[in-house]
Amino acid sequence: MVSVRRSGLRAVVRWGPRGAGQTLVEFALVMPVFMLMLFGLVDIGRAVYAYTAIANAAREGARVAAVNQIDYTGAACNENMPVENVSSPAWSARPCAAASAVSLGVVPGDVSLSYAPPAGTTLSCSPVLHVGCLATVSVNYTWSAVTPVIGRFIGPITMSSTSQMPIQNVFP
């Protein structure tokens, strides 16, 4: 930086950075706040992704439960295979819902499944299911922030999503 000062007839020229220390102090004060905001946005994006994933998982589980009422947690989610053995099906609602949110680490134990009659009807859904009974699938997930500072303030958040679909055909 060049600084020119006129005093009388001669000009005094100074070479050197003036205010370089001030810039460094301002950077040191602003950078942590900026980084906290940046990582906060990343955590918000992760939370939105997690909620969208469990909502899709609940919807997928309800879709499977509407056509296949076998509640078997040991099955895989291979919907291309027909169910040949009712005691060991190739696919079921809980595993398919968990497979839909596998990126979050959701397991079939995080998925709940129930059947109930629609509100305002006299349809009976227990002990025998009928066409029109509502299949309700809920998926639970505990989200936690990756940023330690934000994680200490808000802690883990339990997210849950529920989806309902009417049974289209009774199986088995």
pLDDT digits (tens, 9 = 90+) for 14-67: 655 666 688 889 999 999 999 999 999 999 999 999 999 999 999 999 999 998
Q: Give the separation between CA 114 and CA 86, rounded to whole angstroms.
A: 19
- Cβ distance 54 to 157 under 8 Å? no
Q: Is residue 78 domain-resident?
A: yes
Q: Is residue 14 domain-resident?
A: no
Q: Is residue 10 domain-resident?
A: no
- Tell me the DSSP string of 37-103: HHHHHHHHHHHHHHHHHHHHHHHHHHHHHHH-----TT----TTS----TTS-S--HHHHHHHHTGG
pTM of the model: 0.79
Q: Is residue 1 domain-resident?
A: no
Q: Is residue 2 domain-resident?
A: no
pLDDT tens digit sequence for 101-130: 999 999 999 999 999 999 988 888 888 888
Q: Is residue 47 domain-resident?
A: yes
Check residue 22 and report its DSSP letter: H
Q: Is residue 12 domain-resident?
A: no
State yes or no: pLDDT of 141 exceeds 90.
Answer: yes
Mean pLDDT of the chain: 87
Q: Which residues pair with 164 in a beta bridge?
A: 136
Q: Is residue 133 domain-resident?
A: yes
**Domain total of the chain:** 1
Q: Give the separation between CA 19 and CA 37, rounded to whole angstroms.
A: 27
Per-residue pLDDT, 5: 60
Check residue 116 and report its DSSP letter: E
- Cβ distance 107 to 139 under 8 Å? no
Domain that holds residue 44: 19-166
